[in-house]
Amino acid sequence: MFLEKYSIEKHNEVSLKDHQRRFSFISSEVSNTENILKKLIDFQVAIPSWALGTGGTRFARFAGGGEPRSLEEKIEDIGLLHALNRSSGAISLHIPWDIPSNASHIKALAAQNGLRFDAMNSNTFQDQPDQELSYKFGSMQHVNKEVRKQAIDHNIEVIKYGIELGSESLTVWLSDGSCFPGQLNFRKAFQNTLESLQEVYAALPESWKMFVEYKAFEPNFYSTTVGDWGQSLLYATKLGPKAYTLVDLGHHLPNANIEQIVALLLMEQKLGGFHFNDSKYGDDDLTVGSIKPYQLFLIFNELVEGMDARGMNHATDLGWMIDASHNVKDPLEDLLQSVEAIMITYAQALLVDRKKLVAAQQENDVVTAQEILQQAFRTDVRALVAEARLRSGGALHPLAVFRGEKIREQLIKARGAKTVATGL
Ligand code: RM4
Ligand code: MN
Ligand code: MN
């Protein structure tokens, strides 16, 4: 046990007075506090199993100490996060990085930690040691039918693992594309990919969703076969009602208007899930909200507006996941920061005065519209988010407890200083 419940209570007691002062101030400022708190308590963000170790770059990987050595230890790490913030109650697995060899044991362990299994992720962007055919020139788009079949079979196998764990969605991110003009025929690549995805789609259980993730570049640098939201939407539409687009914040060309993309996908009922992270240049996978917090707010603003317009349940109707990985931070501390940023931004989006905004838009009152959004964005909602955590048994200050209880030191002691988690 790396963290006892009473340690959280002990820390909370120390900062309770300060918290109450801040909370009563924000409660007096905001009209529907209880409603917002309930939404915050319900909102859960899935932690990716590949973000628990220190990420590398193509130059080097500087592994941190105490990294999880197995899926069991990864679940243990996410359990720690969830105990601290009560908002990380799900895990997203990448196969074959995290194969659950004993599904019922893994499922039980996750349940003990209060976790459920969110989207399963397949991997046809790397060759595995025992793999027969190579993905060097793509997987589902490949000119060779045998390679495509191998990629299809892998995805179907991932679905099977997911069924055993109680997951209900599959995320397909393909690195397929080309690095040089003339390397492939765009139309044939699309057709092959569509046919391959159709076979995977046919293997989805009734209740499942398929998320088609797009990415503009990397590892292919000339064309990507699922390169943007238009292409993803095209696949998802052709596939059928169980297929949706997944938006990863780092997968756009510079300055793309992601909030507008989100609004239109929601309008079409084709937004399925989200990968949160932040970036300055490309798919940097930095901590959520660390670079462009206002953009994140504008995205959440569209999410809340669009989901409410369709009567959707904020907590359960979309797949909320983090997709980040770090070279210089403790991955658990980083994930605490990311979840906190998501909760803060979600709370701010809930504060937007929708009625006034609609009226301002109707009047073409541009100044008032901007004021309404910025009023919400500039409100310090940290005490609201902390109160939601407190009410659900979490820590007022998760990071402070993590450090105060020397959790990383304990993990290093238990697992060793030189452990390397599976992942990129
Ligand atoms: C990709 C993409 C996928 C993730 C891999 C590891 O850039 O974001 O979602 O599974 O990285
Ligand atoms: Mn992603
Ligand atoms: Mn990515």
Average confidence (pLDDT) over 90-102: 96
Give the ligand with the smallest distance to the CA of 121: 1
Q: Would you say residue 419 has pLDDT above 90?
A: no
* Average pLDDT rounded to a whole number, residues 143-172: 98
Percent of the chain with pLDDT over 70: 100
Q: Which atom of ligand 1 is nearest to the CA of 50?
A: 6
Taking the C-alpha atoms of residue 198 and residue 236, their distance in angstroms, rounded to an integer, is 10
Please tell me the distance between residue 283's alpha carbon and the centre of ligand 3 in angstroms: 5
Does 323 sit in the ligand 1 pocket, CB within 6 Å? yes
Closest ligand to Cα 122: 1
What's the pLDDT band for 59 if we cut at 50, 70, 90? confident
pLDDT tens column, 345-382: 999 999 999 999 999 999 999 999 999 999 999 999 99
* pLDDT above 90 for 336: yes
The stretch 199-210 carries a mean pLDDT of: 98
Residue minimizing CA distance to atom 6 of ligand 1 = 424
| pLDDT single digits (tens) 158-174 | 999 999 999 999 999 99
Dist CA 388 CA 21 (whole Å): 15
CA neighbor of 318 nearest in space, from 174, 204, 211: 211
Give, for ligand 1, the residue of 92, 175, 215 to mutate: max count of ligand atoms closer than 8 Å to Cβ. Answer: 215
Residue 342 has pLDDT above 90, yes or no: yes
Q: In this predicted structure, what is the pLDDT of residue 254? A: 95
Confirm or reject: Cβ of 76 under 6 Å from ligand 1: no
pTM tops 0.95:
yes
| Gap from CA of 250 to ligand 3 centroid (Å) | 6
> Mean pLDDT of all residues in the chain?
97
Q: Is the pLDDT of residue 250 over 80?
A: yes
**Average pLDDT, integer, range 394-416:** 97
Whether 229 lines ligand 1, by a CB cut-off of 6 Å, is no
Distance CA 236, CA 230 (A): 10
Q: Is ligand 1 within 6 A of the CB of residue 422?
A: no
Measured CA to CA in angstroms, residue 400 lies from 10, 44, 85, 225, 336 at distances of: 12, 21, 12, 44, 11
Residue 285 beta carbon below 6 angstroms from any ligand 1 atom: no
Q: Is the CB of 275 under 6 A from ligand 1?
A: yes
Ligand 1 closest atom vs CA 283: 7
3-class DSSP assignment, residue 180: coil
For residue 327, pLDDT beyond 90: no
Residue nearest to atom 2 of ligand 1 (CA): 173
With 90 as the cut, is the pLDDT of residue 7 above it? yes
Q: How far is the CA of 323 from the centre of ligand 2 (A)?
A: 5
Question: Are the CB atoms for 326 and 277 separated by under 8 Å?
Answer: no
Closest residue by CA, ligand 1 atom 7: 283
Using the atom order of ligand 1, give the atom closest to the CA of residue 423. 6
Residue 64, pLDDT score: 84
Q: Indicate if ligand 1 lies below 6 Å from the C-beta of 252.
A: no
Give the pLDDT band (50/70/90) at residue 62: confident
pLDDT band at 423 (very low <50, low <70, confident <90, very high): confident
- Interatomic CA distance for residues 318 and 273, integer angstroms: 5
